[in-house]
Chain A
């Protein structure tokens, strides 16, 4: 296990590992997403209060969960990079940031579109919405910070530190619906006494959540692979590979 982990840390090995993984992850993601969409849009009945508008949940909630999940992955990679100086860790930080930003943007936009018919407004400065917006700014801040610093090692350190500082926002987002009882509804799925949602709606939601995890894995591998190749563009293995093509 450890030797495999060490091997994976080598850019050349990671590149070929990611390249073989991408199609498998991609097809699994597509299959799950189509199944989840069918279950959510066709099979699941309309909600007794919200009618069909609730169907936005099948993209809104997985995006929102992923916006937090990607951030934790990014911050942990940042910590690994700071402590063990692993090159690949910074590749992960830089690859996670745009994907996380996309999920956060999607959670905010779909939430806004859902809010209009249900709450009567596109936006309120509710605790959940505001902390999620701060998350978007954190992602954008990390992207901007990296492009503002020329030296790659300084950039890596600065981004890792910002990612770690920003992790304080993650429990705030998660508990915001309990600490400040404003407009956004509290959790319906991750509750101690089980989800308060019918199975016909819960199952497609969970399928979509797994599909989004696979989507993250695919895009992360794609971005990380390209980033590794770019950083290693002067190395002999990268050149050899281009000659052999």
Chain B
């Protein structure tokens, strides 16, 4: 348990190290989520075109 606390403590630099890693995580995940959402939106756009054409 103390090993984990030491690890999280990062030799007194916890705030710096973990905020840097946290920001990295957010930016990297954001860059994965945006293209997934865009892909869905584009697929929906094409499907809507198809149903418009049918009418």
Judge whether B17 and A55 touch: CB under 8 Å: yes
Secondary structure of the B side of the interface?
A: helix
Q: Which of A42, A55, A106, A242 contacts B43 (CB 8 A)?
A: A242
CA distance A182 to B38 in the complex (A): 42
A229 and B46 in contact, given A42-B7, A102-B30 (Cβ under 8 angstroms) = yes
With CB as the reference atom, state the residue of chain B lying closest to A235. Answer: B46
Interface size on A, residues (CB 8 A): 37
Q: Which of A53, A98, A215, A234 contacts B13 (CB 8 A)?
A: A53
A60 at the interface (CB under 8 A from B): yes
B1 at the interface (CB under 8 A from A): no
Judge whether A233 and B49 touch: CB under 8 Å: yes
* Nearest CB in chain B: distance from A90 CB, A: 17
* Nearest CB in chain B: distance from A123 CB, A: 15
Judge whether B20 and A56 touch: CB under 8 Å: yes
Across the A-B interface, give the 5 residue pairs with the lowest CB-CB distance, nearest first.
A52-B11, A222-B35, A53-B13, A52-B10, A51-B11
Q: Which residues of chain A are near B38, meaning CB under 8 Å?
A: 223, 226, 230
A133 at the interface (CB under 8 A from B): no
Which of A108-116, A140-148, A167-175, A187-195 is found at the contact surface with chain B? A108-116
A-B CB contact pairs (8 Å), 18 listed: A42-B7, A52-B11, A53-B17, A55-B17, A63-B24, A98-B31, A102-B31, A109-B23, A110-B23, A114-B16, A117-B16, A223-B38, A229-B39, A230-B45, A233-B45, A233-B46, A242-B46, A242-B50
CA distance A225 to B35 in the complex (A): 9
With CB as the reference atom, state the residue of chain B lying closest to A46. Answer: B11
CA distance A226 to B39 in the complex (A): 5
* Nearest CB in chain B: distance from A139 CB, A: 13
A243 at the interface (CB under 8 A from B): yes
CA distance A153 to B9 in the complex (A): 53
A222 and B36 in contact, given A106-B27, A113-B19 (Cβ under 8 angstroms) = yes
* Nearest CB in chain A: distance from B25 CB, A: 9
Judge whether B20 and A226 touch: CB under 8 Å: no
The interface of chain A, by Cβ under 8 A from chain B, is 41-42, 46, 51-53, 55-56, 59-60, 63, 98-99, 102, 105-106, 109-110, 113-114, 116-117, 215, 218-219, 222-223, 225-226, 229-230, 233-234, 238-239, 242-243
CA distance A2 to B34 in the complex (A): 33
Tell which of B27, B35, B46 has the most Cβ of chain A within 10 Å. Answer: B35
Judge whether A225 and B43 touch: CB under 8 Å: no
Judge whether B42 and A230 touch: CB under 8 Å: yes
B5 at the interface (CB under 8 A from A): no
Judge whether B43 and A229 touch: CB under 8 Å: yes
CA distance A59 to B23 in the complex (A): 10
Tell which of A41, A59, A243 has the most Cβ of chain B within 10 Å. Answer: A59
* Nearest CB in chain A: distance from B7 CB, A: 7
